[in-house]
Amino acid sequence: MDKKSWTVPDLLQLTNGYWSACALFAGVKLDLFTRLGERRHRADELAGALGCDARALAMLLNALSALNLLEKQDDCYAVTPFAAKFLSRTSPEYLGYIILHHYHLMDGWARLDEAVKSGGPVRASVSHGDDEVVHENFEMGMFNLAMLVAPKITPRIDLTGRRRLLDLGGGPGTYAIHFCRSNPELTAVVYDLPTTRPFAEQTIERFGLSSRISFQGGDFDSDDIRGRFDVVWFSQVLHSSGPDGCAALLKKAVAALEPGGMILVQEFILDDTLDSPPFPALFSLNMLIGTPGGQAYSQGQLFEMLSAAGAVNLRRLPLDLPNGAGVIAGNVPGSGEPA
């Protein structure tokens, strides 16, 4: 991969790039895009409804207009078609949850130097947090992202003849839903922390798949996996653990597979040099900030861990996914199941 050639303007733009992100965060937190999707508003009338300072709100609305997320005409503001689609709560394609999840990560990123000095996290794990709003933004943010990616993955993976899938660390069950939609004979179990159950069951019910997808609550780091499966799917799970934790979890997953079963791992995958692509390299720092041992892994490292857990026939599937994401597949030895 070609590395970026930097200029001074590029460098300075990088250092203030968070200004635009913070303007977006404020707009989503104040739910401006939903209100302005209903009808046009002047800044002063919207300020009264929101309990904001009129002058300050006008400055934010002007900034969001400059970013082309709002349209301004005769001192009235409205959403752009793009913002109406992705930033209004009334839209089925609303991405506000993942945006607010990224907002909750900002404090930790501002302390990255402390994490580098200490070698440990400087924020509590968002997925295990006690704050209900933070937890909702995390779980539904993962749903936002998975809804964008899952339709590109599940139709491309042949699960013909397989009957039972385990979505390990599956959160709201988005991938289990899409695998079942692509494979009418498939049933699935979503395994995650008990606090995730409401999000998963509501999402599964919304897609009309409650009869085919069930939820199993537990902590996969300390609890056993109940049942036997033809497929185990991990989506963005391993990066939360160090190599020893990954090894233990992969051994549990392989042990839960029937002979000839398939294991599938999606991660943001680094090149074997560990210094590219950019997103997985930066994502590794996100794990440093928030977890005791988590990190992004290279394809070689993932192959090595899967092989040590007992998987064979390892290969990276030919999928074109964003942000350096990739899917690695393997099988456990045995016959009687599709390879």
Residue 80 and residue 149 in one domain: no
126 in a structural domain: no
Last residue of a domain, one of 50, 68, 91: 91
pLDDT of residue 129: 44
pLDDT of residue 303: 98
- Residue 235 buriedness (CB in 10 A; 0-12 / 13-18 / 19+): buried
Residue 54 and residue 181 in one domain: no
Tell me the pTM: 0.89
Give the per-residue SS3 of 93-126.
CCCHHHHHHHHHHHHHHCCHHHHHHHCCCCCCCH
117 in a structural domain: no
Position 79 confidence tier, pLDDT thresholds 50, 70, 90: very high
Report which DSSP code applies to 30: T
Look up the domain containing 305 and give its range: 145-331
> In the predicted model, is pLDDT for residue 135 greater than 90?
no
Number of structural domains (the chain) is 2
112 in a structural domain: no
Cβ contacts of residue 179 below 8 Å, gap of 6+?
154, 157, 159, 165, 167, 186, 188, 231, 233
The pLDDT tens digits for 247-261 are: 999 999 999 999 999
Q: Identity (one letter) of the amino acid at 27?
A: G
Residue 208 and residue 300 in one domain: yes
Angle between helices 197-206 and 132-153 (to 10 degrees): 40
Residue 156 and residue 85 in one domain: no
Residue 78 and residue 211 in one domain: no
15 in a structural domain: yes
132 in a structural domain: no
The pLDDT tens digits for 186-219 are: 999 999 999 889 989 999 999 999 999 999 999 9
Last residue of a domain, one of 46, 64, 91: 91
Residue 87 and residue 235 in one domain: no
Q: What share of the chain is helix, strand, coil (3-state, %, to 5)?
A: 50, 20, 30
The pLDDT tens digits for 93-107 are: 999 999 999 999 999
Residue 43 and residue 151 in one domain: no
Length of the chain: 339
Which residues, listed in sequence order, are joined to residue 70 by a DSSP beta bridge? 79
pLDDT of residue 128: 42
Residue 164 and residue 242 in one domain: yes
In this structure, what token pair is assigned to residue 291? 């977890």
Q: What is the mean pLDDT of residues 285-297?
A: 95
Is 280:323 a contact under the CB 8 Å cutoff? yes
- Residue 302 buriedness (CB in 10 A; 0-12 / 13-18 / 19+): buried
The CATH number of residue 294's host domain is 3.40.50.150
Residue 38 and residue 162 in one domain: no
Residue 82 and residue 168 in one domain: no
Last residue of a domain, one of 57, 91, 125: 91
Phi, psi of 262 (to 5 degrees): -115, 140
The CATH number of residue 45's host domain is 1.10.10.10
Position 77 confidence tier, pLDDT thresholds 50, 70, 90: very high
115 in a structural domain: no
199 in a structural domain: yes
**What is the overall mean pLDDT for the chain?**
92
pLDDT of residue 339: 39
> In the predicted model, is pLDDT for residue 338 greater than 80?
no
Share of the chain above pLDDT 90, in %: 83
Residue 153 and residue 58 in one domain: no
Region of poorest pLDDT, from 93-102, 124-133, 262-271, 303-312: 124-133
185: left (phi over 0), alpha (psi -120 to 50) or beta: alpha
